[in-house]
Amino acid sequence: MPDWPTLAAFAGAAMLLFILPGPAVLYIITRSLSQGRTAGLVSVAGVHVGSMVHVVAAAAGLSAIIAASAGGFTAVRWLGAAYLIYLGIRTILSRDDTFATGTAEPASYRRIFAQGVIVNVLNPKVALFFLAFVPQFIDPLIGNTTLQVVVLGIVFVVAGVVSDGIYALAAGTLGDRLSAKPRWRTMSRYGAGAIYLTLGATAAFAGSGKH
């Protein structure tokens, strides 16, 4: 399995990703604003059950790529780094109102949980993150690659639960106020772009040091 410095570096990178407001975060904020903290935390649970689906898929897919071709795995690393840099540039240039969450109709906790699962299972950013960034932290030379992916996936989910839980708890008091401020939306866009560029650069350097 990955060593502790690798796990710490990956956890830090995952936390940076979770700062970015994607579909899952917007779903959590919307539910928290409309139905309170409990609904928000239920949505967090659903979202990260969905994350586990991506962990299983990544463990199977990346392990297959490694087994088939070392060159193919290197290509995945470089394509992943390039994709993250592309996301950073696109995010900075985007004019989308990321925090325009709108409203949500009241729903049962069971429905909120189920919707959270669907939101993240169908979230392409999560799948692409696993393909783009997780490979940078896998070393085929130290053994079982499937176990490495699973361990990193669990770290990813734990980091997500912590980060999204904070969003859920804070949304009721701060989310609606921040969403109404254009300056906040602009700052969040540039901040998100910078994070993607940092992750892309980190992935590129990490990938270049592994064979």
Q: What is the pLDDT of residue 105?
A: 59
Higher pLDDT, 66 or 114: 114
Contact 40, 169 (CB under 8 A): yes
Report CA-CA distances (Å) from 86 to 19, 33, 196, 200, 204: 18, 32, 8, 8, 13
| Tally: H helices and E strands in the chain | 9, 0
Q: Which two tokens stand for residue 13?
A: 């990178």
Q: What is the pLDDT of residue 43?
A: 92
Q: What is the pLDDT of residue 110?
A: 92
Closest CA to 164 of 34, 20, 8: 20
**pTM of whole model > 0.85?**
no
Contact 22, 10 (CB under 8 A): no
Q: What is the pLDDT of residue 174?
A: 66
Residue with tokens 């892309």: 200
